[in-house]
Structure 1
Amino acid sequence: MKRAGLTAALLIAATTVAAAANVRLAASPSAAHCGGALWRLKTLSDAGRTSVRLTPASTTIAAITGRPFPQPLPTKRRTSFQRQTWEVVAQLTTFRLEAGGIRLVLVDSNSFMNAVIPTPACLSARTRAREQIAQVWKQFGADCARAKTDWQPLGAVVYVQGVGFWSQRQQGLRGAAPNGAELHPVTGLRIVVGC
């Protein structure tokens, strides 16, 4: 009887440990679920994350989209644009949920660009400014709307802070900058009006 009870207790303990290990593995960020091969750059968890100045520099969307596209596309944080947090004021026209985060379309004076708020599940223990990024996710859902996979109109006026990121120049992606520049990850959001 004692042996059966001990065996059952060990079996339950082993099952619990195995289940917990599977949860941890499933909850670990990965390129497949968090935006592709450059997800570490997109979530500020790459090896060069400490070179990023987190104090935002004010700029405009036109100034960002006027930068030359780097050749080849950087897979490491090698340009000054990628090593700076930027702040723009813009109209947030539309947004949607996609793999790895919420994509925002920003416009100011007929200049468009994208900014992305990573999902907290894609932030690793190495992510710099992790709490700030997670707070932006929470704030957007609470103050604006819960993102869905279809484009949703908004029309809010916002101050957006985010780290410079070079994406592929994607013709046809709604609101994408012609030079592939994005703010990714978004590290701060201040809503002026519209949410």
Structure 2
Amino acid sequence: MPSQEQLSALLAPHTTVLLTVECQQGVVGERGALPELAREARSSGALANVARLVGAAHRSGVQVVHAIAERRPDGRGANRNARLFRAAERLPVQQLSGTAAVRVAAPIEVAEEDIVVRRLHGLSPIQGTGVDPLLRNLGCRTLVVTGVSANVAIPNAVFDAVNRGYTAVVPSDAVAGVPAEYTPAMIRNTLALVATVATTEEVLGCLERPRLRPA
């Protein structure tokens, strides 16, 4: 774990972006397509911690980006080259563009200044989605990655961020996957090798810390 001073240096508000990954009603909502994942995100406190981090980001001037996975009703442009995609087509809740399933889930609050990025294909919230140029235009140097799932999208986001030169920070208790024991093992044995791992409380302590404005 980094020291609070080290973490605070990484999380300067004007160079930090908070990314929420697939925190949408059709994924982590009470009637989501993947009930086991939704239950874990809620019962573990991960979704609540994402909401706390988003609230702190709004108060401290940190830009928030919400990455949403969706598909067209006709499926055009969507992947079918992996079991995951084909299984998703048979789920009772579909992540269809324009439906409630692709709205950001409570208790996360979306502010007017937040950016919502929607993707119709692939596994990553960064690769091929336009998020990378948005981050560069925002002056981002540190990307805080939160949300679901620890099985697929979260490691994709962290690897893509690191490959593009960003420093990734992962609040370990603001990420969820299934089964429950997989998430801490994956973070400890994989993400900790390439990202700065902290807790929600540690990140909140940095975001809510009074700072001098840059000259």
TM bucket by the smaller chain?
under 0.3
Rg comparison, structure with higher value: 1
| TM-score of the aligned structures, taking structure 2 as reference length | 0.25
Higher strand share: 1
Return the TM-score normalized by structure 1: 0.27
